A and B are shown apart, each in its own frame.
Chain A
Amino acid sequence: MEWLTEFPAMDKTALRALKKGIDGGFRAWTREHGDTVEAFFEPIKQMLIWSEKFLLNTPWPIILGGIVLIAWLASRSWKITLMTLITMVLIGYFDMWDNTMRTISIMVVSTFVSIILGIPIGIAMSKSDKLQSLITPVLDVMQTMPGFVYLIPVVMLLGIGKVPGLLAVVIYAIPPIIRLTNLGIRMVDKEVLEAADAFGSSPWQRLKNVQIPLAMPTIMAGINQTIMMALALVVIASMIGVKGLGQPVLQAIANQYFTLGMFNGLAIVGVAIIFDRVSQAYGKRLQSHSEVVHGK
């Protein structure tokens, strides 16, 4: 009656052979194509290095001014702008400026990459039900798989450093922008689309003049979520050598430095709130013309 108490699992040696086979195959593939893969990611690596250098080497008052200005331009809200200023000043005062710049750098680049890849994928998905039913489960897996698991193949391929970190962040953070671009375009008012067609719009004109602008509030919500998820992965990504606010947190866990962990954790929260409020306010401003305010 052993088969009742123990699940009839696959034979141990066979299982070991299977795992070994897959690992071996992947390793061989990596050895053979590692250079090509690395070359492929070279531009992204350069972009990461450049943006980090820019943020670290520019005198802090200029960066601070720039961040506050962007917050103002995007949100047009004194409250949000002031909150941004205070948060950044506190971060600097408690000596976390450099790490915050590193974190902002990888976030900006990974958000940028997510947008560049995510929006076209979302558009393609909105145009084909078949593609939608293919991509949706992939996105589900990407979002539910624990962050650590796909760090493994990424590290096997690219080692430890900025690029694998970015890759991990993008994989984790890209699903919302894809999903919401797809959703936003599918939700565009059918009659407005008919109008665009009736006036003889080409597919590109229809996309550029109608679908993207009308989907923009939804797309912005996706960008906002993408930014938040990217930030959430910063701590995990620091395990594979991404520098920034995540590393001191890891260090603090290992050595039980409560205050160090707390400060850096709060800095991450501060940055998250800034990005969240600013991008949301920007999205709201975009949407203002779609609200119904008869006879104003």
Chain B
Amino acid sequence: MASDTTNGVKQNSTVEIKGLYKIFGRRPKHFMDAVKEGMSKQELQEKHGHVLGLKDINLSMPAGSIQVVMGLSGSGKSTLIRHINRLIDPTVGEVLVGGQDVCKMGQGALRNFRRHETAMVFQKFALLPHRTVINNVVYGLEVQGVPRDKQETEARRWIDRVGLSGFEDNYPNQLSGGMQQRVGLARALANDAPLLLMDEAFSALDPLIRMDMQSVLLDLQTELHKTIVFITHDVDEALRLGDRIAILRDGEVIQEGTGQDIVMEPADEYIQNFVKDVNRARVIQTESVMKAGVHSGATVEVSDSANLQDAARIMSDAQQQVVNVTNGDGQVVGHLDLETTVAAIVKQERRHTTPGSEFSA
């Protein structure tokens, strides 16, 4: 194996993207200067017939966390994730995985990198239709040249882990969409790679099954601590899964931060549109809206990582107007009153439904 393994978790799978540009067309390099000087995606396309895929992407994804990339269709999400395992070559820029520049690898090194350091899950599953479930799941190991019996034990373990025991010898077309994507997930996990790339992996599934798959993924992640890059156009999915979320528009990152950052301080109208229907009570944590100091009148406490919905429930259950906020060690770090809580929950709606009003300071 290419990298060391500790507790089953490979090290050094941070992803850093620096100054990444991608222009699609016959002479991408030729238009680099113009794009750097601010030529818009639209102008480049209409006047020069080139497509601006990505523009000056800088992202740093720490190892062991879930980075969500969100954006509307055509915003460059798939293009971005395909640079990480270099299914697409950049026009300029660097993609560092575990400190290694993926774009500078030769054919052999790239193949090794893909075999051992990354695995990918696809929107339309991309399973091999002529192979049974188990023979799909072994694919990564087979390509690596792992002995057949080891391939099978590993594959069976992951098939079991994603809840598909008993379907080993079925063909993909005999399974429902949700089950097929479980196969896709098992195939990626069997690879034992520290970096998992998921391009709209759950977007093709029905809402209930999608929620189900999100739970499967979160459940696995508490155990595996992989670095996961997860693409979605669904804000609820982004908020549920993402430790951090980057938002793309026309190939540019327009905001990057935690789910809370984005819900509380949307950088512009595009993002406001994304988050306007989000249940803020469930996203915003007490810590970010609490006031400093202990409130002597408070008789109940709430954790600083609890959300506003929990805080409101605690207050209403105790018939109190105020609650003290405690950190992980049980120390009181601030307090929160009902009025602030409600204001934080409804703030977005007010701001959105009265655009251009005096509410801005």
Chain B residue nearest in CB terms to A199: B140
- The answer to whether A290 touches B173, judged by C-beta atoms less than 8 angstroms apart, is yes
Contact pattern, A 191-217, Cβ under 8 Å of B = 1, otherwise 0: 110111111111001000110011010
Contact pattern, B 119-149, Cβ under 8 Å of A = 1, otherwise 0: 1101110111110000000011011100000
Most buried by B among A195, A290, A294, A295: A195
State the CA gap A202–B145 with chains docked (Å). 12
Most buried by A among B85, B126, B140, B174: B126
State the CA gap A189–B127 with chains docked (Å). 10
- The answer to whether B111 touches A202, judged by C-beta atoms less than 8 angstroms apart, is yes
Contact pattern, A 226-238, Cβ under 8 Å of B = 1, otherwise 0: 0000000000000
B185 to chain A, nearest CB (A): 13
- The answer to whether B115 touches A194, judged by C-beta atoms less than 8 angstroms apart, is no
Task: List, in ascending order, chain B residues with CB within 8 A of A296's CB.
Answer: 174
A192 to chain B, nearest CB (A): 5
Contact pattern, A 174-191, Cβ under 8 Å of B = 1, otherwise 0: 000000000000000101
- The answer to whether B126 touches A199, judged by C-beta atoms less than 8 angstroms apart, is no
B151 to chain A, nearest CB (A): 13
Given contacts A192-B126, A195-B126, A213-B128, A200 and B144 within 8 Å (CB-CB): yes
Given contacts A289-B173, A290-B173, A294-B176, A198 and B114 within 8 Å (CB-CB): yes
Quick one: which of A143-168 are within 8 Å of B by CB?
none
B75 at the interface (CB under 8 A from A): no
Most buried by A among B118, B127, B130: B130
Contact pattern, B 170-210, Cβ under 8 Å of A = 1, otherwise 0: 01111111000000000000010000010000000000000
Task: List, in ascending order, chain A residues with CB within 8 A of B130's CB.
Answer: 213-214, 216, 289-290
Chain A residue nearest in CB terms to B135: A209
- Size class of the contact patch on chain B: 20 to 34
State the CA gap A213–B87 with chains docked (Å). 22
- The answer to whether B128 touches A199, judged by C-beta atoms less than 8 angstroms apart, is no
Given contacts A290-B129, A290-B130, A198 and B173 within 8 Å (CB-CB): no
Task: List, in ascending order, chain B residues with CB within 8 A of A254's CB.
Answer: none
- The answer to whether B120 touches A198, judged by C-beta atoms less than 8 angstroms apart, is yes
A138 at the interface (CB under 8 A from B): no
Task: List, in ascending order, chain B residues with CB within 8 A of A6's CB.
Answer: none
- The answer to whether A195 touches B120, judged by C-beta atoms less than 8 angstroms apart, is yes
B272 at the interface (CB under 8 A from A): no
Chain A residue nearest in CB terms to B82: A194
B87 to chain A, nearest CB (A): 6
B221 at the interface (CB under 8 A from A): no
- The answer to whether B118 touches A198, judged by C-beta atoms less than 8 angstroms apart, is yes
B112 at the interface (CB under 8 A from A): yes
- The answer to whether A199 touches B124, judged by C-beta atoms less than 8 angstroms apart, is no
Q: Which residues of chain B have a CB within 8 Å of any CB of chain A?
A: 82, 85, 87, 111-116, 118-120, 122-124, 126-130, 139-140, 142-144, 171-177, 191, 197
Q: Which residues of chain A have a CB within 8 Å of any CB of chain B?
A: 189, 191-192, 194-202, 205, 209-210, 213-214, 216, 289-296
Q: Could you show 7 A-B contacts with beta carbons less than 8 Å apart? A: A195-B122, A200-B112, A214-B128, A216-B130, A289-B130, A289-B172, A293-B173
